[in-house]
Amino acid sequence: MTFDPDSPLSQPAFRRVWLAGVCGGVVRWLEIVVIGIYVFEITGSALLASVMAMLRILPFAPAGPILAMAADRFGVRRTYLVLVRVMLALTALQAALAALGWINVWHLAIGALASGVYWAAELPLRRSMLGSVVAPSQIVPAMAIDTMSNNITKMLGPLTGGLVLEWVGLTGAFVFSSLIHVATLRFMMQIDDSQRVARRRSSFLRNLREGVALARSNRVALLAISMSLVFNLFGFPGMSMIPVVGDQQLHLSAAMVGFLTAAEGIGATLGSVLIVRYGHQIRYHGRFFAIGCIAFILMMAVFSIAPNAGLAWLALLVSGFGVAGFTSMQATLVLIGAPVSARSRLMGLLTISIGTGPLGFLLLGWTAERLGAATALQLMVVEGLVAWLIVMWRMRDVITQPTPRDH
């Protein structure tokens, strides 16, 4: 297979780390659907089914800095390999329990929590590796390629999960996931780890304090962390209201609600393709990042007041382009703006800001219960716009200048 010599895909090390992420994305979205369906079928509880998905997000905030500390002490690749091996063992155990008929909901809950820790490793570990195996000029297209593949797995994973569960049952789904973990392990073991960063030994609290100090002194990284907080509290939770608005306000069928929900993923994939192609021309990464965030938030406002399904679908499609710009720049800002020795700790803090997402979901859900989904979305947008403007004002020096590169 041949690749454009200017593309990150031309580098074997990048392909292996990227493919490890593709494998992780397939397992993640496949299991979210498989376990959600299975738990609902055996318990009849929609709440328990949703809790299984929530457990995958809960570890983000505490796991981020812990994984960053482990990476500083033991190395990024070695820490990631340990996680993959643990996930392989747990998934194989779940497959065995399912085959014997001994699987219980609490087994699945433990597996979901462990998967959440593995998911939290994306920024401080795997994406840090992606940034280290490509040249500085290739970081933007590298992150865009990774974002694009994640969007694709987000679309295809649920479909695959439903088919796997129907064809081979829960046991087969876990066996399939185990085989994908084996492929991930193989990709990561083929990466050259000869270039090692000096290892650090520090406590969790000291590591966290040092990460905060680094973020306060690095304005580019601080923008990534603070704007991610805005997005995850006041932006991304809006996706949870799409089925409610589609049903209650637009009076759509279940199939049409599914088509409506897919619009954001389609837009995000198309946007990622454009960034892969033209991302090397971006100089004001912070500005691009901020525009992606506010584009998504404002499109949630348009969606909430859309009088028909066509405008609602178009708003969600455009919101996907905002997501593409936001997510492709999120890790990029840290990778191009911070020294290699600080990346893991700063990525750990970035993971904490992403881990605040459940608070946004809870707040939006609580408001929707009392005022309705559309009104709750509109209030969330106003709150998000205010928070976005505050960050923009305080970080205007980063927004208005080309991104400095600390290498």
How distant is the alpha carbon of residue 133 from its chain centre?
Answer: 21
- Cβ-proximal residues to 387 (8 Å cutoff; 6+ apart), any chain: 229, 230, 233, 234
Quote helix, strand, coil % in the chain, to nearest 5: 85, 0, 15
Cα(303)–Cα(314) distance, integer angstroms: 8
**Per-residue pLDDT of the chain in tens (407 residues, 90 and over written 9):** 445 666 788 889 999 999 999 999 889 888 887 887 788 788 877 667 767 877 888 888 788 778 878 887 888 899 999 999 999 999 999 999 999 999 999 999 999 999 999 998 888 889 888 888 888 778 888 888 888 888 788 777 666 777 787 788 899 999 999 999 999 999 999 887 654 544 555 555 566 666 677 767 778 888 989 999 999 999 888 877 777 788 778 887 756 776 777 788 888 889 988 888 887 788 888 899 999 999 999 999 999 898 898 999 999 999 999 999 998 888 888 888 777 777 777 887 888 888 888 788 778 878 887 888 788 889 999 999 999 999 999 999 888 887 766 54
Amino acid sitting at position 368: A
**What ranges do the domains of the chain cover?**
1-192, 209-407
User: What pLDDT is attached to residue 405?
Assistant: 60
Q: Can 1-192 and 209-407 be said to share one CATH topology?
A: yes
Provide the b/e sequence for 122-155 (b: ≥16 CB within 10 Å).
bbbbbbbbbbbbbeeebbbbbbbbbbbbbbbbbe
* Helix (H/G/I), strand (E/B), else coil: 212: helix
User: What pLDDT is attached to residue 316?
Assistant: 92
* CATH class of domain segment(s) 1-192: mainly alpha
pTM metric for this prediction: 0.77
Distances (CA, A) of 69 to 59, 263, 346, 375: 15, 38, 11, 42
> What count of residues does the chain have?
407
User: What pLDDT is attached to residue 89?
Assistant: 96
User: What pLDDT is attached to residue 1?
Assistant: 46
User: What pLDDT is attached to residue 6?
Assistant: 67
> Do the beta carbons of residue 139 and residue 131 sit within 8 Å?
yes
Just give the CATH number of 209-407: 1.20.1250.20
User: What pLDDT is attached to residue 3?
Assistant: 57
Cα(189)–Cα(78) distance, integer angstroms: 9
Burial (CB count within 10 angstroms: exposed 0-12, middle 13-18, buried 19+), residue 95: buried
User: What pLDDT is attached to residue 195?
Assistant: 47
